[in-house]
Structure 1
Amino acid sequence: MVSQFSLVQPTQPVSNRRGRRRAVFGGIDLGTNNCRMLVGTPAAHGFQILDSFSRVVRLGEGLYETGKLSALAMDRAISSLAICADRARRWTGDEFTGPIRLRAIATEACRQAENGVEFVHRAREATGLPLEIINPREEAELAVESCAPLLRKAGRRALLFDIGGGSTEIAWVRLDSGIRPELIGYLSLPVGVVTLSERCAGACYQSEGFFSLVEDIITMLRPFESVHRIGEEIRRGGVVMVGTSGTVTTLAGVSLKLDRYRRGLVDGVSLTRRAVDDALAEACALGRDGLSRHPCIGMDRVEFVLPGCAIFAAIHELWQAPRLMVADRGLREGMLMRLMRDMPTHKHRYNA
């Protein structure tokens, strides 16, 4: 298969409105629940977004029970990837002088599934995208990379977490080590909003079941705490807790009483521990019907909110940071920032 996108050769610049010429970069993140794409060009403070796409594909639907990606889930994912490929080609046509520099990744669903590698090869053939499965460490690194602009002058350390569809990534980060945040340690928990909703969605709507899940997840986190002594570092001060997941941005929307979700009001906001506790309590009290009517949630995400809240509540309880920084950014932004920084040396790595 010949890729229609460039990963190895430097990107040729494209024209902008003022006649200058800039390179174009793209990142595609195929997760357990969503397929997302971001296209951007370097700007003074990071990058300027040229195009974005997000669609719920539920690639991991049924994976917990069967161990495999279902035919329907794979079809949905490939259909969305094909849309991403078509939109990316807008930046590679005759109007421009070179191909977009693009990376496409798959995460936990493809790591877990018996047929994950087979699906990736099929998706590559069907779309022309250079889709690759990344490991949990790189997933944590990309999440940290995406949040780096928010972490400048944030303190000594950061505890960053990303509650995904199939897994939850925890990153323990040194901030006073030099130019960029440095990953000290990471943990990938095999629980996410999709897998947890399939295993015990009903339990999340009952107080006893919810807190039982929280305790189970705390037990999974304790070995990481024992190694890194994060709680002790929090008590010393200078540790910022950062959440990058949809669960956390939803809780921020609840806390801020938004009439509709607004990224500009959520990304980078700092919530007190009391505000976080109140938002968690409100989300749990709303129930399925109330959550589905909430302007920051809606029917397509309602079944994942409380499973995500259970995972977050465990992190929040074990590591009692005084404030939570909310980041509406993730792997796509991390890929773009890394591609822009490493353009001369980045190589295409396919580890499936």
Structure 2
Amino acid sequence: MNAMPTLATVDLGSNSFRLQICQNNNGQPQVIENIKQMVRFAGGLDAHKNLDAASQQRALACLAQFGERLRGFSPENVRVVATNTFRVAKNIGEFLPKAEAALGFPIEIIAGREEARLIYTGVVHTYPNNGQKMLVIDIGGGSTEFIIGSDLQPEHMESLPLGCVTYSMRFFQGKISQKDFQAAINTARAEIQRISKLYKRAGWDISIGTSGSAKAIANVIAAHGLAERGITLSAMQKLADKIIAEGSVKKAKLEGLKPERIEVFAGGLAVMMAAFQELDIKEMVFTEAALRDGLFFDFIERNLDSDMREETVIQFQERYHVSKNQAARVAKLSAQFFTGLSQHITVQAFEYWSDYVRWAALLHEVGLDIAHTAYHKHSAYILAQADMSGFSRPEQDLLSKLVLAQRGDLKKMTEIQNDKMSLWHAIFALRLAVLFCRARLPLALPANMALSHSDEQGYVLKIAQTWLDENPLTSSALESETQQWQAIGKTFTVLAN
């Protein structure tokens, strides 16, 4: 695909306005700037659905700042979309010319289903669904989008008038009670009931939440340790109970909740709980992909022909000048070692962890582009903090852990619980592969070498004594490695034969 110029999208939501500027990097948007302002536009709607002066002024001030940043952009390289509040405000016709003058570009007020399509486009191009049918739910400030699909074109799309801002204003202005929460959930369920029969008949394999409310809920649940992964109804009920007991979100002092989300958290939580109850959702994962990402993929019109994560790994190798020969050697050997350690896990778990071992091996030296000293720490930081299309933040954290553990003192990994055996296997496989490949040359290992693990003996490497004699540096490194594992209470034994 030919390179395209720098592209910009502006998402004028009911809660926040966002400007994102990207460059097209071989079909993937590489973010170079992302500006977000909590405008609370929907908060300015009065009983007659007219925007008050204060909300209009907040919006115009934000748009003027965005306009300054976009100065010099060609109109064909900028797309501005506005969502629910722009759709429902009775006096939007008076406000729109002022908004476009402040921004310097035309504003497209999109329909609810077009918003749903763009949200889904962002998710389907970035989330590795592996052919699974997805239910995507995006709770915005004034509307919530529900989409089902597995391919580029969604099967079902709907936008309902449920939002974290509008529901927070409607139900949670004073002291929050059990009655308030139940009223909000019941009202939201009544709206969702319009689509529940059709959606449940269509079915889905995985539920995905996008945008601010889903992110805030997932972060708070994770911070309080209320679910093993993602979002569950029982975890949300515990959060609701805590808010009710304290009388407000602010007094509940929820860990992981950003200050700017406090005012609208209860409304978003009630809507999400209603969606779980009405659609019988068991569990939901969160993805960073959202409307702004869908806008970019509309720009570049790329096709889904592979796992986005694979493309991202290749791009990171290029960007950070990774030696592909060395990465391939480490990836091949770590895969061999991990297979030897994984005789007693399920096929699904093996495939899952094998991917992460391989990706970590292919990217373990990205930090060398910064410095050779402590390069594994630089690698870990890059993989944790960089924008990696297709990878969720938890997935990036996992890759970061693996590459951090590839060498050096293992005591830095002691926060990993002992029952995370597959993670320990992945760490061991990668460390051993890096150790054997330290010469950065094609490697000839003895044919009868074997690696295994058992609860009684720990990790055991069987290897020919003659090979160790011929490779004294590696032999010495293996001795040091046994001490590293011993220092954290684990056993690694080298059996020479």
TM-score class, shorter = 0.7 to 0.9
Evaluate the alpha carbon distance shift between residue 272 and residue 117 of structure 1 in structure 2; reply closer, same or farther with a 3 A threshold: same
Map 1:169-318; keep pairs closer than 5 Å: 169-171=145-147, 173-175=148-150, 178=151, 180=152, 182-202=153-173, 205-226=176-197, 228=198, 230-232=199-201, 234=203, 239-257=205-223, 270-271=230-231, 275=235, 278=238, 281=241, 287-291=248-252, 294-298=255-259, 300-318=260-278
The root-mean-square deviation of aligned C-alpha atoms, in Å, is: 2.8
Pair 1:109-2:85 in alignment: yes
Structure-2-length-normalised TM-score: 0.55
Deviations 1:165-193, CA, capped at 9 Å, x for gaps: 1111112x221xx5x2x222222222212
Whether contact under 8 Å (2:176, 2:243) holds in the other structure is no
Whether contact under 8 Å (2:20, 2:31) holds in the other structure is yes
Corresponding residue for 2:113?
137
Deviations 1:142-199, CA, capped at 9 Å, x for gaps: 110111134433554221111111111112x221xx5x2x222222222212212222
Structure 2 gap ranges (5+): 303-497
Corresponding residue for 1:123?
99
AA paired with 1:318?
A: E
Whether contact under 8 Å (2:17, 2:36) holds in the other structure is yes
Pair 1:158-2:134 in alignment: yes
Q: How far off its partner does 1:292 sit?
A: 5.6
In 2, distance between residues paired with 1:110 and 1:103?
16
In 1, distance between residues paired with 2:189 and 2:113?
21
> RCO (CA 8 Å, sep 6+): is it higher in 1 or 2?
1
Structure-1-length-normalised TM-score: 0.75
Which one has the largest radius of gyration? Answer: 2
Whether contact under 8 Å (1:203, 1:209) holds in the other structure is no
Whether contact under 8 Å (2:223, 2:256) holds in the other structure is no
Corresponding residue for 2:279?
319
3-state SS in 1 of match to 2:114: helix
Deviations 1:258-317, CA, capped at 9 Å, x for gaps: 89xxxxxxxxx745665555555556556333456644221x321210111110000011
In 2, distance between residues paired with 1:190 and 1:57?
19
Deviations 1:94-132, CA, capped at 9 Å, x for gaps: xxxx67711011111111111113212221123311211
**Would you say how many aligned residue pairs link Structure 1 and Structure 2?**
297
Whether contact under 8 Å (2:219, 2:257) holds in the other structure is yes
Corresponding residue for 1:348?
none
Determine which structure has the larger helix proportion and give its number: 2
Return the match for 2:8 from 23, 26, 44.
Answer: 26
Structure 1 gap ranges (5+): 1-12, 14-20, 93-97, 260-268, 343-352
3-state SS in 1 of match to 2:34: strand
AA paired with 2:190?
A: T
AA paired with 1:231?
A: K
In 2, distance between residues paired with 1:203 and 1:221?
26
Whether contact under 8 Å (1:40, 1:48) holds in the other structure is yes
In 2, distance between residues paired with 1:225 and 1:204?
31
Return the match for 1:36 from 13, 18, 39.
Answer: 18
Whether contact under 8 Å (1:252, 1:279) holds in the other structure is no
In 2, distance between residues paired with 1:56 and 1:82?
15
Evaluate the alpha carbon distance shift between residue 322 and residue 23 of structure 1 in structure 2; reply closer, same or farther with a 3 A threshold: same
In 2, distance between residues paired with 1:244 and 1:186?
15
Whether contact under 8 Å (1:166, 1:195) holds in the other structure is yes
In 2, distance between residues paired with 1:48 and 1:61?
33
3-state SS in 2 of match to 1:114: coil
Deviations 1:313-345, CA, capped at 9 Å, x for gaps: 000112223321102232111111211227xxx
Evaluate the alpha carbon distance shift between residue 241 and residue 282 of structure 1 in structure 2; reply closer, same or farther with a 3 A threshold: farther
In 1, distance between residues paired with 2:284 and 2:175?
23
Percentage of pairs with the same residue: 25
Whether contact under 8 Å (2:206, 2:284) holds in the other structure is yes
Corresponding residue for 1:147?
123
Return the match for 1:74 from 46, 56, 74.
Answer: 56
In 2, distance between residues paired with 1:322 and 1:208?
24
3-state SS in 2 of match to 1:66: coil
In 1, distance between residues paired with 2:257 and 2:280?
26
In 2, distance between residues paired with 1:323 and 1:125?
44
AA paired with 2:257?
A: C
Evaluate the alpha carbon distance shift between residue 282 and residue 233 of structure 1 in structure 2; reply closer, same or farther with a 3 A threshold: farther
3-state SS in 1 of match to 2:81: strand
